[in-house]
């Protein structure tokens, strides 16, 4: 995903303007609502007004790292949503499956030289 943002980051400082950030999110077809994108813009906006896409990507990637604490990730979501124990377990199982799939895809995408 970084490549989408780098196209807009001519100085390679890890930041882009709001319009570029919105364009990249839209191009990635993440299925986010306007209010969800605005939440991301607000969260990753720096004092100079630019959006730190590197911070956004770091946070996104941390969820899928091999060291990710999936229970903690779910707990963070629970601040806004209430899950039953069964739903929490299902969510952890789903995120684990996605995490494993992404790891296996990364292995397949690595150049073999």
Are the C-beta atoms of 60 and 25 separated by less than 8 Å?
no
pLDDT tens per residue across span 3-19: 889 999 989 999 999 99
Domains of the chain: 2-63 (1.10.238.10), 70-109 (no CATH)
Q: Any alpha helices (H) in 18-84, and if so which ranges?
A: 18-27, 34-44, 53-63, 70-78
pLDDT tens per residue across span 33-62: 888 999 999 999 999 999 999 999 988 887
Would you give the DSSP letter of residue 44? H
Q: Of 86, 91, 11, 87, which is closest to residue 53 (Cα–Cα)?
A: 11
pTM: 0.58
pLDDT attached to residue 16: 96
Band of pLDDT at residue 23, cut at 50, 70 and 90: very high
């Amino acid at each position: 995903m970084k490549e989408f943002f780098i196209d807009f980051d001519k100085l390679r400082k890890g930041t882009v303007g709001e319009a570029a950030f919105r364009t990249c999110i839209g191009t990635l077809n993440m299925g986010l609502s306007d209010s969800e994108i605005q939440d991301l813009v607000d969260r990753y906006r720096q004092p100079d007004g630019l959006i730190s896409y590197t911070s956004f990507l770091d946070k996104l990637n941390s969820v899928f790292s091999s060291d990710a604490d999936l229970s903690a990730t779910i707990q963070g979501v629970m601040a806004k949503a209430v899950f039953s124990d069964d739903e929490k377990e299902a969510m952890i199982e789903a995120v684990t499956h996605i995490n494993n799939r992404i790891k296996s895809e990364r292995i397949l995408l690595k150049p073999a030289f």
